[in-house]
Amino acid sequence: MKIVADENIPYVKDAFGTLGEVRLLPGRKMDAAAVREADLLLVRSVTKVNAALLEGSRVRFVGTATIGTDHVDLPWLQRAGIAFSAAPGSNANSVGEYIVAALLTLSARHGWTLAGRSVGVVGVGNVGSRVAAKAAALGMRVLLNDPPLQRATQDAKYRPLEELFACDFITLHVPLEKNGTDPTWHLADAAFLGRMKRDAVLLNSSRGPVADNAALLRALEEGRLADAVLDVWEGEPGLNAALLRRAALGTPHIAGYSFDGKVNGTRMLYEAACKLLGVKPTWDAATAMPPPETPQMALQAAGRNEEEVLHEAVRRIYSIEHDDAALRRLLDMPEPERAPWFDRLRKEYPVRREFQNTRVTLAGATPSLAKKFAGIGFRLSIINHQ
- pLDDT, tens digit, 9 for 90 and up, residues 307-347: 999 999 999 999 999 999 999 999 999 999 999 999 999 99
Q: Give CA–CA dist 135/166, Å, rounded.
A: 17
The parent domain of residue 163 ranges over: 92-250
Q: Is 20 among the domain residues?
A: yes
Q: Is 301 among the domain residues?
A: no
Q: What is the pLDDT of residue 386?
A: 45
Residues 98 and 232 in one domain: yes
Residues 105 and 200 in one domain: yes
Q: What is the pLDDT of residue 300?
A: 94
Q: What is the pLDDT of residue 369?
A: 95
Environment class of 303 (CB within 10 Å of its CB; exposed 0-12, middle 13-18, buried 19+): exposed
Residues 28 and 144 in one domain: no
Residues 56 and 97 in one domain: no
Residues 58 and 97 in one domain: no
Residues 138 and 79 in one domain: no
CATH number of the domain that residue 21 is part of: 3.40.50.720
Q: How many residues does the chain have?
A: 386
Q: What is the mean pLDDT of residues 27-51?
A: 96
pLDDT at 381 over 90: no
Question: Which positions are catalytic?
Answer: 207, 236, 253
Q: What is the mean pLDDT of residues 8-28?
A: 96
Task: Write down which residue in 232, 250, 268 finishes a domain.
Answer: 250
Q: Give CA–CA dist 341/244, Å, rounded.
A: 14
Residues 80 and 220 in one domain: no
Q: pLDDT tens digit string along 249-295?
A: 999 999 999 999 999 999 999 999 999 999 999 999 999 999 999 99
Q: Report the percentage of the chain scoring pLDDT > 70.
A: 99
Q: Give CA–CA dist 81/70, Å, rounded.
A: 19
Q: What is the pLDDT of residue 68?
A: 85
Q: What is the pLDDT of residue 67?
A: 86
Q: What is the mean pLDDT of residues 201-205?
A: 98
Instruction: Give the chain's domain count.
Output: 2
| Among candidate residues 309, 308, 302, the one with its CA nearest the CA of residue 384 | 302
Q: Is 19 among the domain residues?
A: yes
Task: Write down which residue in 250, 265, 286 finishes a domain.
Answer: 250
Q: Report the percentage of the chain scoring pLDDT > 90.
A: 96
Residues 152 and 224 in one domain: yes
Q: pLDDT tens digit string along 150-178?
A: 999 999 999 999 999 999 999 999 999 99
Residues 125 and 225 in one domain: yes
| pLDDT band, very low/low/confident/very high, at 382 (cuts 50, 70, 90) | low
Q: What is the pLDDT of residue 383?
A: 63
Environment class of 224 (CB within 10 Å of its CB; exposed 0-12, middle 13-18, buried 19+): middle
Q: Is 261 among the domain residues?
A: no
Total-model pTM: 0.92
Residue 352 in 3-state DSSP? coil
Residues 130 and 82 in one domain: no
Task: Write down which residue in 27, 61, 86 finishes a domain.
Answer: 86
